Amino acid sequence: MAAGTLGSVRKTTVWMADGRELMYFGAVPEHPADYPDRRPLDPLHVESQARRDQLLGEWVVIAGHRQDRTFEPDTSHCPLCPSTAGHLTEIPAPDYEVVVFENRFPTLGSRDAGHARDAGHADDGDGLLVGRPAGGRCEVVCFSPRHDASFADLTPDQAATVMAAWVDRSAELARISGVEQVYCFENRGAEIGVTLSHPHGQIYAYPYVTPRTDRMLASCASYRNRTGRNLFDDLLDAEHANSSRIVLQGRHWTAFVPYAARWPYEVHLYPRRRVPDLAALAAAARTEFCELYLDLLRRFDALFGSPVPYISGWHQAPVRHGRDEFALHLELFTIRRAPGKLKYLAGSESGMGAFANDVVPEAAAERLRELG
């Protein structure tokens, strides 16, 4: 067991029966070592491979071992609830605040990214069919011990504990050899394909820079060449100057519907002062984020009279490059466009990557402002 503190949040690390790492954030349980993982777990079977799509210049992860993962268990078998005498879960303690642990069914499959990279490339001899073990790491973040809660139900203090966990994991995973980018995100709702309803998010530590970040950095580089300025800064200034798409503003953050929004309701949340990643955020900005984000999530849930399926993700600079240009921000969107109606990624979006949005961004922003 190892312990440390992050601001006022305590972190304690323990190890699960199959050797995975588990971290409690907060003061509960007081003595984590009193709750060992008593389950007879089989050793992990993980064999992800990253294959190069040469036409698009992107890596695709092939993770065949994930086909037999847990799917929609009923509440009495939820693996993310605290353990009880009759039901041992992923979290051995009888209570917790925020917990992070290594995913038993990770998409990114080596427990040691450096080792995976050293394992070498496999190809066809012409160098076109390139694959390699997909290093990196996947973690699960449990936001609350309450099975029926959601992130929007957290208090600002509880959200701050989640923020402390995101900051800690982003910084620590970035130090793993071979990790190039860290992504903290939440999928919420069965409509998004979430297989466990317990409130939780995930963290992917990728062994490469993701395609969207690559493209954002390429846009920044060409804008810098043309104007000598930073593209993120100028876009945020443009949204402030126009103001019709701004949903919420604090002292440290601005939330707006982007001009070219892809999704029916989509909001981007930027700190006023550009920073590359979560670890670089000042304490006051972290605190204000929690308040604004909870407000935003509650507005989303008020849109259609019932909780909406959403995806929310932190865009952080790569570990090794682009850090002077990239702007940390959060992107939140729902796929619900009307009560009972979802936006599907159909022919144009899935086939061509060409989005069309039926909800006018300015109208979406106005609606979200009114719901406050």
Q: Which residues are known to be catalytic?
A: 200
| Closest CB 65 distance from Zn ion, rounded Å | 24
Could you write out the three-class secondary structure of the chain?
A: CEEEEECCEEEEEEECCCCCEEEEECCCCCCHHHCCCCCCCCCCCCCCEEEEECCCCEEEEECHHHHHCCCCCCHHHCCCCECECCECCCECCCCCCEEEEECCCCCCCCCCHHHHHHCCCECCCCCCCCEEECCCEEEEEECCCCCCCCHHHCCHHHHHHHHHHHHHHHHHHHCCCCCCEEEEEEEECHHHCCCCCCCEEEEEEECCCCHHHHHHHHHHHHHHHHHCCCHHHHHHHHHHHHCCCEEEECCCEEEECCCCCCCCEEEEEEECCCCCCHHHCCHHHHHHHHHHHHHHHHHHHHCCCCCCCEEEEEECCCCCCCCCCCCCEEEEEECEEECCEECCCCHHHHHHCCCCCCCCHHHHHHHHHHCC
| Closest CB 147 distance from Zn ion, rounded Å | 3
* Range in contact with Zn ion (rule: CB under 5 A) among 31-39, 52-60, 64-72, 191-199: 191-199
Q: Can you tell me which of 9, 80, 285, 308 binds Zn ion, judged by CB under 5 A?
A: 80
| Closest CB 97 distance from Zn ion, rounded Å | 15
Q: Can you tell me which of 104, 198, 286, 337 binds Zn ion, judged by CB under 5 A?
A: 198
Nearer to Zn ion, 74 or 358 (CB): 74
Give 120's contacts (C-beta < 8 A, 6+ positions apart).
132
- How many positions of this chain bind Zn ion (CB under 5 A)? 5
Q: Can you tell me which of 14, 22, 81, 174 binds Zn ion, judged by CB under 5 A?
A: 81
Nearer to Zn ion, 198 or 315 (CB): 198
* Range in contact with Zn ion (rule: CB under 5 A) among 46-54, 116-124, 139-147, 273-281: 139-147
Nearer to Zn ion, 17 or 78 (CB): 78
| Closest CB 78 distance from Zn ion, rounded Å | 3
Nearer to Zn ion, 81 or 247 (CB): 81
Tokens encoding 180: 């190039």
| Closest CB 87 distance from Zn ion, rounded Å | 10
Nearer to Zn ion, 65 or 147 (CB): 147
Residue window 142-171: x/- pattern of binding to Zn ion, with contact defined by CB under 5 A = -----x------------------------
Nearer to Zn ion, 68 or 74 (CB): 74
Closest residue to Zn ion using C-beta atoms: 78
| Closest CB 159 distance from Zn ion, rounded Å | 19
* Range in contact with Zn ion (rule: CB under 5 A) among 23-31, 66-74, 167-175, 195-203: 195-203
Tokens encoding 76: 């009495």
Can residue 299 be called a binding residue for Zn ion (CB under 5 A)?
no
Binding site for Zn ion (CB under 5 A): 78, 80-81, 147, 198
